[in-house]
Amino acid sequence: MASQVPKAGRPRSEPARRAVLTACGELLQQGGLRAATTDRIAALSGVSKATIYKWWPNKYAVALEAFLSQMNAESPDPDTGSAAEDFRLTVRGTARFYASPIGRIFAQLLAEAQSDPTEASDLIGRLVTSRRGVVRAIWDRGVLRGELRDDVDPDVALDLFFGPLVYRMLAGHAPLDERAADEVVRVALTGLNRTNRNKT
Amino acid sequence: MASQVPKAGRPRSEPARRAVLTACGELLQQGGLRAATTDRIAALSGVSKATIYKWWPNKYAVALEAFLSQMNAESPDPDTGSAAEDFRLTVRGTARFYASPIGRIFAQLLAEAQSDPTEASDLIGRLVTSRRGVVRAIWDRGVLRGELRDDVDPDVALDLFFGPLVYRMLAGHAPLDERAADEVVRVALTGLNRTNRNKT
Amino acid sequence: MASQVPKAGRPRSEPARRAVLTACGELLQQGGLRAATTDRIAALSGVSKATIYKWWPNKYAVALEAFLSQMNAESPDPDTGSAAEDFRLTVRGTARFYASPIGRIFAQLLAEAQSDPTEASDLIGRLVTSRRGVVRAIWDRGVLRGELRDDVDPDVALDLFFGPLVYRMLAGHAPLDERAADEVVRVALTGLNRTNRNKT
Amino acid sequence: MASQVPKAGRPRSEPARRAVLTACGELLQQGGLRAATTDRIAALSGVSKATIYKWWPNKYAVALEAFLSQMNAESPDPDTGSAAEDFRLTVRGTARFYASPIGRIFAQLLAEAQSDPTEASDLIGRLVTSRRGVVRAIWDRGVLRGELRDDVDPDVALDLFFGPLVYRMLAGHAPLDERAADEVVRVALTGLNRTNRNKT
DNA sequence: ATATAACCGAGACGGTACGTCCCGTCTTCCA
DNA sequence: TGGAAGACGGGACGTACCGTCTCGGTTATAT
C-alpha cells in the first residue's frame, strides 16, 4: 500500500537495471573492480551513464549490487544438530567463497570502502551483516543445546571463526583452503591452552 | 663490508628522501591515502615529482614507506614469562593501533593492494610479515614452556588472535577496544566448547 | 543537405571551442607558441584539458586553428587589371603580415612542423596552400592578358615572389618592409640580367 | 698573443669535444633534432652532461656546431667566368643540400631559432651568413663583368635565388630537385615580364 | 716532486609540460 | 517523463627532457 502512488510518466526500465548489473558483474569477473568503470558498464550494457547515476549513487553501489546478486545462493545454512559440524560447514563454505574469484571482488569492495566513509557503512552493512545473522543462529542453537559456552560475547565468538578467513583473504600470508578452515574451527572450539585437551 | 663500493656520481639526497616521507606522512594523517597525491607530496616536500618516481614505483610505495617509518616504535614486544600475558599485551597494542587514525591508513593500504597484484605482495609482506615475527616468538616460547598446545598450526593460532582485529578494523561491525582485545585473547586461549571451562 | 544527420547525444559546445581558440590566440600573441601550453589554454579558457585533447590531436593543432582564425580577413585579394600591380599589393601585404607579431607565430608553426612529419603536412597544407590559390589567380590572369610569360612554371614564379619573404622572415638577414617587397616584385618581373633593361 | 695566458690546471679535453659532436651528429642523422637530447648525447659520447653544458650554452648550440662540422666541404664555390653558370651550380648544390637528410636538420635548426630569440641570432648568423659571402662574390663578379644589373639590391638578388629553395624546403609544396633549381635561376635572371624574352 | 687548480664521469635533483584516464554532471534529442 | 548518446569540468597520473648541482677521481702545469 505504500507504493500504490500512481507515479505519472514512464516507469523505471527493469531491463535496463538488469543489463547494468549483468554487465557490471561480467566486468568484475574479468578484471576486478578496477575494470568496472562506468563508461565500460554503460557501453557493455547499452544503458547510458546518466541512467546509471540516476539509480545508483556511484559506481561502487552498482558493483556492490552486482556482486550481491551473484552470491545469492552461494552460502550454506546448515543445521545438522551439532554446532561444531554446522560451523565447520559454514566456515568451509566461507573460505571457499573468499578464495574464489568472486571473493577477490569482495576484498576489493571491502577495500574501497576504507577510503569512502560516506557510502562505506551501508556497503559493509549489506556485505557483512547479511551473513552474520545465519551464523549467529548456529551459535545460539549451540549455546541453547549446551554445546557452547554461554559466557562468551557472541560477536567475539563469530569473529574467532571468520576473522582469520578475512585476514588471510586480504593479506594472503597463509593458505585459505579446506584444511585451514577445519583447523580454525577445531582450534577455536578447543582453545590454545595446553590444559584444554579434548575432542572437537 | 658489502656497501664499501664507492658509488660513482652524486649520491642520493637523504634530505629529499626524508622530506618526501614526512610530507607524505603528514598528508596521510590529514586526509588519508586519497589526499596523498603525488603532486601534493611533491609540492609539500619541495621534492620534484620526477625524483619521487625515480625512487618509488608509485605513490602507494611512498605511502607504505611513510607509514612504516611512522609505526617504528609503536609496537610492543613483551616477554613477561606468561604467553597469555604476552598475547594480551600484544593484542591490546595491535587493537589500539588499528583503531587509531594511523590504523585507518593501514586499512587503506591493505585495501589498495587488493587491486594491484603486482606491487601488492611486497606491500603485504612488509606490512604483515614484519609484525608476524614478534608474535610468533611469543607463541614458540609458550609452546616451549608447556603453556600452549604443540599440536596446532602456529599460523592458525596467530590468526585466531589477529584475524578478529583485522576483521573489525575493516568491517567495523563491532568495537575494537581493550575489552574486545582481552575477550579475544581469553576466548582464543580457552576455546568455545562448553567443556573447556577454565581460567586463562 | 549533407549534415542533416541528427547526431545523437549532446552536441559539441561551440562556446567551448571558441573559448579555446580565443585563449590560445591570446597566449600566442603574448608569449608565442611556447607560452601556449595546454594547461594554460585550459585554465584561461575554462575548458578542460580532456576536452581540448578530444577535439585536437595536440597543442599545435590548436595553435594552428587559433592562428588561422585570426588571419581570416588579413590577406588582400586585389584585381587591378595589372598583374604587376596586383603582385605588388599582395607581396606588400604578405610582407607586412610576416613582419607582424602574428607573423612570428606563423614562423613558429612552420618551424614546429619540421620535426613532426605526421601532422606537419596537413599543417603546411592549410597554412601555405590556402594563400596559394589567390596569387595563382593573379598569375593566370597576367598570363592571359599577355603581361606575363607563358613559358614559366607557375610554382617557380610564385616562389620567386614569396620565397624571399619567407626566407627573410625566418633568417632575418635583411629587412622585410614595403621597400623590400617592392624591390622583390620589381626585380622578379624584370630579371637580373643586364640586357633586361625595361620598366616595371 | 692574446691567448698566451698560461692557464693553470688541466686544459679542456679535445677528445671529449669531438666525441660530443660526433655523437650529436649521429643522433641528428638518425632521428633529427628531437632525438638529440642531452642525455642521449652524453650517453652515446661518454661525455658527462655537466661537461657538455660547460662548453656549450645549450643543446642547440651543440647541434648547430655538430651540424656545421658535417657540412664542411659540401658547398661548391664555382668561378666559371659566367655568373649565370656560377649561380646555376651554386643553386643546384644548395637545392641538393636542402633536400638531403642533413638539410632536414638545417630546417629544424632554423625552426628552433624562431622561438628562442636569445641564441637565435648567432645561430642564424652562422648558418645563413656564412654561405652568403660566397654567393655574394659571384654576384659582384657578374656585376663587374657587366653580365648583371647594377641597379639591384644585392640582398634582394640573392634572395631571389635562395628564398624559393628555403621556402620549398620548409613548406614542401613543390619539388626541390635539379630541374627546379635550374628553372629558378633561369627565371630569376630573365624576369617574369613577357617582354623580357631572351636566353640565359 | 709536489701542490693545486681545473678538468671530467656519473648521476641525482627541481622544474615544467605533456598526453591519458576516469569520475560524476550536463545537455540534446528521441520514444 | 525515461532513456541513449555523448560532451564536459575536474583532477590525478606517470613520463620526458632541460639545465643545474654535487660527488669522487684525474691530469697538467707552477712552484
Around D60, how many Cα atoms within 13 Å sit in the side-chain half-sphere?
21
For chain B, the distance separating the N- and C-terminal CA atoms, rounded to the nearest angstrom, is: 49
The confidence band for C74, taking pLDDT boundaries of 50, 70 and 90, is: low
What DSSP element (H or E) covers D191? none
Q: How many CB atoms lie within 10 A of CB C43?
A: 13
How confident is the model at residue D101, as a pLDDT? 86
Number of other residues whose CB lies within 10 A of the CB of residue A105: 23
pLDDT for A3: 43
Report residue A47 as a C-alpha cell. 544503458
Average pLDDT over chain D reads 88
Q: Which helix (H) or strand (E) holds A173?
A: none
pLDDT tens digits along B107-161? 888 888 888 766 667 777 777 887 888 899 999 999 999 999 999 999 999 999 9
Residue with cell 591570446: C26
**How far apart are alpha carbons A49 and D106 in whole angstroms?**
52
Number of residues that this document lists for chain B: 200
DSSP of A88-100, one letter per residue? HHHHHHHHHHHHS
DSSP-assigned beta bridge partners for residue A193: B148
pLDDT in tens, B160-194: 999 999 999 998 889 999 999 999 999 999 998 88
pLDDT the model gives residue A74? 63
> Strand, helix or coil at C148?
strand
Residues lying close to strand E (Cβ under 7 A), chosen from 49-78 of chain B, are 49-51, 54-55
pLDDT at A80 over 90: yes
Instruction: Please count the residue pairs, one from chain A and one from chain B, whose beta carbons lie less than 8 angstroms apart.
Output: 196
- With bands split at pLDDT 50, 70 and 90, how would you rate the model's confidence at A13? confident
Q: Looking at residue A118, what is its pLDDT?
A: 67
User: Which pLDDT band holds residue A199 (cuts at 50, 70, 90)?
Assistant: very low
* Residue where the block lists cell 616595371: C200
* Of the listed ranges A72-81, D89-98, D139-148, the one predicted with least confidence: A72-81
Local confidence band at A2 (pLDDT 50, 70, 90 cut-offs): very low
Answer yes or no: is pLDDT of A162 > 60: yes
- C187 touching D (Cβ < 8 Å): yes
Q: Report, as an integer, the average pLDDT of C50-64.
A: 94
Lookup: cell for B148: 600452549
Instruction: State how far residue B81 is from chain A, nearest Cα, in angstroms.
Output: 15
Residue B161, Cα to own-chain centre: how many angstroms? 14
Q: What is the spatial distance between Cα C181 and Cα B30, in angstroms, rounded to a whole number?
A: 67
The mean pLDDT of D123-142, rounded to a whole number, is 87
* Residue C58, CB, strand E, below 7 Å: yes
Tell me if residue A46 falls in helix, strand or coil: coil
Q: What value, to the nearest 5°, has the Cα angle with vertex A137 and ends A135 and A139?
A: 75
Rounded to whole angstroms, how far apart are CA atoms B40 and B44? 6
What mean pLDDT comes out for the span C104-129? 79
Q: Mean of the pLDDT values across residues C17-35? A: 94
Q: Which residue is nearest to nucleotide E17 (CA to C1')?
A: C37
Which of residues 146 through 185 in chain B touch A, CB cutoff 8 A?
146-150, 152-153, 155-157, 159-160, 162-168, 170-174, 180, 183-184
C17: phi > 0 → left, psi -120 to 50 → alpha, else beta; which? alpha
> What's the rounded Cα separation, in Å, for the pair C58 and C112?
12
User: Measured between alpha carbons, how far is A155 from C95 in angstroms, rounded to an integer?
Assistant: 87
Taken as a whole, chain C contains a residue count of 200
Residue A10: band (very low, low, confident or very high) from pLDDT cuts 50, 70, 90: low
Q: What's the pLDDT at C2?
A: 43
Q: Is the pLDDT confidence value at D197 over 60?
A: no
Integer Cα distance of B18 and B5 in angstroms: 23
Q: Does residue D165 carry a pLDDT above 90?
A: yes
d(CA B62, CA B27): 12
Helix, strand, or coil (residue C141): helix
Q: From CA D73, how far away is CA A179, in angstroms rounded?
A: 83
In the predicted model, is pLDDT for residue D151 greater than 80?
Answer: yes
Name every chain B residue with its beta carbon within 8 A of the beta carbon of A170: 110, 113-114, 166, 170
pLDDT at A19: 94
Q: What share of chain B is helix, strand, coil (3-state, %, to 5)?
A: 70, 0, 30
The separation, in Å, between residue C23 CA and nucleotide F15 C1' comes to: 27
Nucleotide nearest to C39 (CA to C1'): E17
Q: Distance between CA A189 and CA A87 in Å, rounded?
A: 10
> What's the sign of the alpha-carbon dihedral C150, C152, C154, C159?
negative
Classified as helix, coil or strand, B2 is coil
pLDDT at C73: 55
Q: Does the nearest atom of strand E lie within 7 Å of B179's Cβ? A: no
**What nine digits make up the cell of D144?**
663587374
Would you call A156 and B198 a contact, using CB atoms and an 8 Å cutoff?
Answer: no
Q: Pull the grid cell for residue D81.
A: 667566368
Only one residue has cell 698573443, namely: D1
SS3 of residue C197 by DSSP? coil
Share of chain C above pLDDT 90, in %: 64
- The residues with which C148 forms a beta bridge, in sequence order, are D193
Cell of B34: 586519497
C110 contact residues in D (CB cutoff 8 A) = 111, 114, 170-171
Q: How far is CA C124 from CA C20, C106, C110, C135, C171, in A?
A: 22, 10, 7, 17, 19
CB atoms within 10 A of CB B67: 23
Model confidence band, residue A200 (pLDDT cutoffs 50, 70, 90): very low
**Which pLDDT belongs to residue A124?**
77
Helix (H, G, I), strand (E, B) or coil at A57: coil
Q: Residue B171: which of A128, A148, A193 has the nearest Cβ? A: A128
Do C and D share at least 3 CB pairs under 8 Å?
yes
- Taking CA atoms, A169 is separated from A26, A71, A186, B99, in Å, by 22, 17, 20, 21
Asked if residue B68 lies in contact with residue B125, where contact means CB atoms within 8 angstroms, the answer is no
Rounded to whole angstroms, the Cα distance separating B164 from B175 reads 11
pLDDT at D182: 98
pLDDT above 80: residue C197: no
C165 and C131 in contact (C-beta within 8 Å)? no
| pLDDT for residue D199 | 44
Domains and CATH numbers, chain D: 60-199 (1.10.357.10)
Angle at D149 between CA C151 and CA C173, to 5 degrees: 90
Cβ(A109)–Cβ(A67) below 8 Å: yes
Q: Are B95 and B177 in contact (CB under 8 A)?
A: yes
Cα distance between residue B191 and residue C33, in whole Å: 75
Cα–Cα distance between A156 and A160 in angstroms, integer? Answer: 6
Question: The dihedral of CA C111, C112, C114, C118: what is its sign?
Answer: negative
Question: Which range, A13-22, B9-18, C130-139, D155-164, has the best average confidence (pLDDT)?
Answer: D155-164
- pLDDT for position A196: 47
Which residues 27-86 in chain A show a CB within 8 A of chain B? 32-34, 84
Q: What is the mean pLDDT of chain A?
A: 87
Q: How far is CA C131 from CA B51, C74, C126, C160, C176, in A?
A: 48, 11, 9, 15, 19
Q: Is the pLDDT at D4 greater than 50, yes or no? A: no
List beta partners, residue D148: C193
Tell me how long chain A is. 200
Highest mean pLDDT among A71-85, D43-57, D119-133: D43-57
Q: How far apart are the first and last CA of chain D?
A: 51
Q: Which pTM was predicted?
A: 0.84
DSSP state of B145: T
Lowest mean pLDDT across A4-8, B49-53, D155-159: A4-8
Nearest protein residue to nucleotide F30 (CA to C1' distance) is D8
Could you write out the three-class secondary structure of C7-64? CCCCCCCHHHHHHHHHHHHHHHHHHHHHHCCHHHHHHHHCCCHHHHHHHCCCHHHHHH
- The per-residue b/e assignment along A63-85, b for 16 or more CB within 10 angstroms, e otherwise, is bbbbbeebbeeeeeebeeebbbe
pLDDT at D183: 98
CA distance A175 to A188: 17
D82 touches strand F (CB under 7 A): no
pLDDT at B5: 61
pLDDT of residue D73: 56
CB C12 within 7 Å, strand F: yes
List the Cα angle A141/A142/A144 in 5-degree steps.
65
Of B21-35, C60-74, D53-67, which range is least confident? C60-74
Residue nearest to nucleotide F1 (CA to C1'): A9
Residue B3 has pLDDT above 50, yes or no: no
| Positions on chain E within 7 A of a protein C-beta | 4-31
What does the pLDDT average to over B68-89? 86
What distance in Å separates the CA atoms of residue C175 and residue C186, rounded to the nearest whole number?
A: 16
pLDDT greater than 60 at residue C199: no
pLDDT at A7: 53
Quote the pLDDT of residue A135.
93
**Among candidates A33, A113, A104, which has minimal Cα distance to B104?**
A113
Higher model confidence: residue A105 or residue C183?
C183
Give CA–CA dist D90/A126, Å, rounded: 85
Q: If you average pLDDT over every residue of chain C, what do you get?
A: 88
